[in-house]
């Protein structure tokens, strides 16, 4: 188990380094990440490299049994580069070159920037390849912009389109440029669509794909150098959870494992136990695990209040630990807190670390040390365990981007749509895999595809086969609307899924803001539709809920269709009440034969990791109240080392891990 901190020795005097290493060792930390913002310290002048300071730090850390991950420093170019090679800086959509002085201001098309980046990476790799306590590399830092509109990027976009479509005739046909007379005769006529709300939707979608591809290509070039020169080191990148602007499936392909930066969104009232903001961090973790269907690392973990100009609320006593256990429960094999010590200078003076500005090991440090001690205590149990589940949710970047470009109705948010089902599954104590359209569906009893706006025919065929063979499929509004080039299918909705769903949607409507339409299900329970509604006509499907409003009460809001050996559910609206989704998911779980080991009480999260001989059940109390949890008989408790019968009392923000010696 790797546990540690992000460390910036260049921010502090050498006299402090020994004490830092000693405190880290005392806390049980065995790894640090360094150097991702240190380009100018390693190459203060062009072509003149200085690694002696980092060698000294690494040697000090090694004496205290601490290993290191080095970041390639390309997220912040030195000032000398910006001055000598201004083409390295990105250009905004108004034609202005960005001013050096923040991070992420580079142009990925710049030859200067690419060559200088490759040189510093190669020089670092050659120097540190044989340093015994360097174990891996983080590529760059949090890929995500900037979007550059320079002439080189423009030409590269045109070339990218040419490679994709092969002929201008094919591009025109695929993107539907006949509309508004926007047909192209030559590749160099194609603009950068600088307004996602007005330009051709297909061109906008391709621009988003191109910008994502630029990040993936830049990372690939770095990975290639490191693979050659540091074959024994792992390579990762610190992703940003639900960040929407890069196709993370593509970005993860070159890496040994995914890492991500976990900063749960703090809301004003942590004392309301019904708040479920903690599920956002769970979904992010499962998305990260799903990128490679593999366990992940946390490269930056919340240590205290975050903020640049102003800061949010502090972590309450116990939160640092329970946030870490939540990620461990969802597949983390390494936890690194950001940061070691709060910086006294720069833009992140208020992004707090385990130590404050004063450098004293106080409450947050002590809680991290306690967490580290517990992780080491159970690391042999955790080793080689993973999450295995029979429920999956499709997470699709094309659909995210297409929804951003044309949301269809006000308030349509792809991630919020997924959360409704995801949260309901977690409330039932069920783990979830997050998968792409191309994943093997046959591994799962349940597949959910919320707002699958862009639906490939190959995926529609897979869904049909999956249900026919006995799978349970759930989808909802605005799914199957468009093809891969963002063109609406010219068949009645739900389009390619009509047969498997057994319905037709001849019309649909947005629901005005602050308006609710009542619906009633077959059990007589009443709910309220908001934001959007499909007017569903059943063909072969069974009606599970109807609208209860004049003119619309002949239309279904929720349906189920028996198709082959399986069932396909369709929800044609957004329901205001949370318990609607609880009831729907509970019924689908019964339909599929999936049951939870523990159904958690309100505010408690359950997650399971297992191997061939045991399962580990993580219990996480996200509230400030004590919680009683019923557990299977014969379970062994791992953290507090107490004998249990059939219940565990979790303290506020309390956590526990129990073991059962059999595979589910």
Mean pLDDT to the nearest integer, 312-321 = 94
Which among 36, 43, 276, 300 is annotated as catalytic?
300
Question: For residues 585 and 580, what is the distance between their CA atoms, to the nearest angstrom?
Answer: 9
| 210 neighbors 164 (Cβ within 8 angstroms) | no
Instruction: Report the side by side order of strands in the sheet with 636-637.
Output: 604-610, 615-621, 655-660, 636-637
Is the pLDDT confidence value at 59 over 80? yes
First-to-last C-alpha distance (Å) of the chain: 24
Tens digit of each residue's pLDDT (9 = 90 or more) over 233-257: 999 999 999 999 999 999 999 999 9
Question: For residues 110 and 89, what is the distance between their CA atoms, to the nearest angstrom?
Answer: 8
Q: Would you give the distance in Å from CA 442 to the centre of its chain?
A: 24
Mean pLDDT to the nearest integer, 565-576 = 98
- In 10 A of CB 569, how many CB atoms? 23
Question: For residues 237 and 300, what is the distance between their CA atoms, to the nearest angstrom?
Answer: 11
**Peptide bond preceding 494 in cis form (omega within 30 of 0):** yes
DSSP conformation letters of 383-443: TT-B---SEEEE--HHHHHHHHH--SSTT--HHHHHHHHHHHHHHTT---EEE-TTS-GGG
**Peptide bond preceding 339 in cis form (omega within 30 of 0):** yes
Question: For residues 381 and 200, what is the distance between their CA atoms, to the nearest angstrom?
Answer: 54
Residue 24 neighbours by CB under 8 Å, 6+ apart: 4, 5, 7, 32, 61, 64, 66, 340
Tens digit of each residue's pLDDT (9 = 90 or more) over 473-515: 999 999 999 999 999 999 999 999 999 999 999 999 999 999 9
- pLDDT recorded at residue 661: 87
Residue 580 sits at the vertex; the CA angle it makes with 455 and 449, to the nearest 5 degrees, is 15
- In 10 A of CB 468, how many CB atoms? 15
Mean pLDDT to the nearest integer, 34-52 = 98
Question: For residues 148 and 563, what is the distance between their CA atoms, to the nearest angstrom?
Answer: 48
Closest among 168, 576, 248, 293 to 411, alpha carbons compared: 576
Mean pLDDT to the nearest integer, 20-37 = 98
Question: For residues 502 and 468, what is the distance between their CA atoms, to the nearest angstrom?
Answer: 13
Mean pLDDT to the nearest integer, 5-18 = 98
Tell me the β-bridge partners of 239: 260
Q: Taking all residues of the chain, what is their mean pLDDT, rounded to a whole number?
A: 96
Is the pLDDT confidence value at 276 over 60? no
Mean pLDDT to the nearest integer, 50-58 = 98
Query: Is 542 annotated as catalytic?
Result: no
What is the DSSP pairing of strand 332-338 with strand 296-302? parallel
- pLDDT recorded at residue 663: 54
- pLDDT recorded at residue 641: 73
Is the pLDDT confidence value at 643 over 80? no
| 351 neighbors 308 (Cβ within 8 angstroms) | yes
Which among 142, 374, 439, 605 is annotated as catalytic?
142
Question: For residues 154 and 391, what is the distance between their CA atoms, to the nearest angstrom?
Answer: 42
DSSP conformation letters of 510-577: EPPTT--EEEEETTS-EEEEEEEEEEEEESSPEEEEEE-STTTTTSEEEEEEEETTEEEEEE-EEES-
Tens digit of each residue's pLDDT (9 = 90 or more) over 151-168: 999 999 999 999 999 999
Query: Is 142 annotated as catalytic?
Result: yes
- pLDDT recorded at residue 662: 72
Domains of the chain: 2-147+210-382 (3.20.20.80), 391-592 (3.40.50.880), 604-660 (2.60.40.1180)
- pLDDT recorded at residue 271: 64
Q: How confident is the model at residue 664 (pLDDT cuts 50, 70, 90)?
A: very low
What are the C-alpha distances in Å from 218 to residues 75, 138, 323?
Answer: 12, 13, 32
Is the pLDDT confidence value at 458 over 80? yes
- pLDDT recorded at residue 265: 73
Q: With the C-alpha atoms ordered 488, 243, 230, 47, is the resulting torsion angle positive or negative?
A: positive
- pLDDT recorded at residue 24: 98
297 phi, psi to nearest 5 deg: -115, 155
Is the pLDDT confidence value at 275 over 90? no
- In 10 A of CB 150, how many CB atoms? 19
**What's the residue count for the chain?**
664
The number of CA neighbours under 13 Å toward the Cβ of 501 is 28
Is the pLDDT confidence value at 424 over 90? yes
Does the pTM surpass 0.75? The reply is yes
Is the pLDDT confidence value at 645 over 80? no
Closest among 544, 460, 445, 546 to 495, alpha carbons compared: 460
Mean pLDDT to the nearest integer, 84-89 = 98
Is the pLDDT confidence value at 108 over 50? yes
**Peptide bond preceding 146 in cis form (omega within 30 of 0):** yes
Is the pLDDT confidence value at 389 over 50? yes
- In 10 A of CB 347, how many CB atoms? 12
């Amino acid at each position: 188990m790797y546990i540690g901190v992000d460390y910036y020795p260049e921010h502090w005097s050498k006299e402090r380094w020994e004490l830092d290493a000693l405190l880290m060792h005392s806390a049980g930390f065995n790894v640090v990440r360094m150097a991702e913002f240190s380009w100018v310290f390693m190459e203060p002048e062009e072509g003149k490299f200085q690694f002696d300071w980092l060698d000294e730090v690494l040697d000090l850390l090694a004496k205290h049994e601490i290993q290191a991950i080095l970041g390639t420093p390309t997220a912040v170019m030195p000032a000398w580069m910006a001055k000598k090679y201004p083409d390295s800086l990105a250009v905004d959509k108004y034609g202005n070159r960005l001013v050096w002085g923040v991070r992420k201001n580079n142009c990925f098309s710049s030859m200067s920037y690419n060559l200088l980046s490759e040189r510093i990476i190669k020089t670092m790799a050659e120097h540190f390849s044989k340093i015994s306590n360097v174990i891996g590399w983080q590529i760059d830092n949090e890929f995500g912009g900037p979007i550059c509109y320079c002439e080189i990027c423009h030409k590269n976009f045109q070339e990218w389109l040419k490679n994709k479509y092969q002929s201008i005739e094919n591009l025109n046909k695929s993107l539907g440029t006949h509309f508004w007379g926007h047909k192209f005769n030559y590749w160099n006529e194609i603009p950068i669509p600088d307004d996602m709300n007005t330009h051709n939707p297909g061109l906008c979608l391709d621009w988003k794909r191109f910008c994502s591809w630029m990040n993936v290509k830049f990372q690939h070039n770095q990975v290639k150098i490191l693979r050659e020169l540091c074959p024994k080191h792992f390579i990762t990148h610190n992703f940003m959870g639900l960040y929407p602007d890069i196709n993370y499936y593509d970005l993860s392909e070159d890496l040994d494992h995914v890492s991500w930066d976990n900063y749960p969104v703090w809301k004003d009232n942590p004392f309301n136990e019904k708040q479920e903001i903690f599920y956002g961090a769970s979904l992010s973790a499962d998305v990260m695990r799903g990128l490679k269907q593999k366990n992940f690392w946390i490269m930056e973990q919340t240590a205290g209040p975050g903020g640049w100009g102003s800061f949010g609320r502090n972590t309450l006593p116990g939160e640092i630990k329970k946030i870490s256990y939540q990620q461990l429960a969802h597949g983390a094999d390494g936890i690194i807190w950001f940061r070691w010590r709060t910086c006294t200078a720069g833009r992140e003076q208020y992004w707090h670390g385990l130590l404050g500005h004063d450098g004293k090991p106080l409450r947050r440090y002590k809680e991290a040390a306690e967490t580290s001690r517990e992780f080491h205590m159970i690391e042999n149990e955790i080793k080689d365990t993973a999450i295995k589940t029979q429920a999956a949710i499709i997470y699709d970047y094309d659909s995210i981007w297409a929804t951003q470009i044309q949301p269809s109705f006000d308030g349509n948010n792809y991630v919020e749509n997924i959360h409704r089902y995801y949260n309901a599954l977690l409330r039932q104590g069920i783990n979830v895999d997050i998968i792409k359209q191309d994943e093997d569906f046959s591994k799962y009893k349940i597949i959910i595809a919320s707002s699958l706006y862009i639906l490939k025919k190959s995926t529609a065929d897979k869904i049909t086969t999956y249900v026919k063979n006995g799978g349970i499929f759930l989808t909802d509004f605005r799914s199957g609307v468009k093809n891969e080039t963002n063109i609406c299918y010219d068949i009645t909705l739900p389009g390619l899924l009509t047969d498997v769903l057994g319905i037709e949607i001849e019309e649909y409507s947005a629901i005005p803001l602050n308006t609710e339409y009542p619906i009633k299900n077959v059990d007589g329970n009443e709910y309220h539709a908001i934001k959007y509604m499909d007017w569903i006509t059943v063909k072969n499907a069974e009606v599970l809920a109807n609208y209860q409003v004049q003119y619309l009460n002949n239309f279904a809001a929720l349906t189920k269709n028996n198709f082959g050996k399986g069932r396909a559910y369709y929800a044609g609206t957004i329901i205001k009440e949370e318990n609607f989704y609880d009831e729907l998911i509970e019924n689908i779980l019964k339909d599929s034969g999936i049951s939870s080991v523990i159904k958690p009480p309100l505010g408690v999260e359950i997650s399971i990791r297992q191997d061939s001989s045991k399962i580990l059940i993580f219990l996480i109390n996200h509230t400030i109240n004590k919680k009683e949890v019923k557990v299977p008989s014969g379970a062994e408790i791992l953290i507090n080392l107490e004998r249990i019968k059939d219940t565990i009392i979790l303290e506020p923000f309390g956590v526990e891990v129990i073991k059962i010696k059999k595979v589910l």
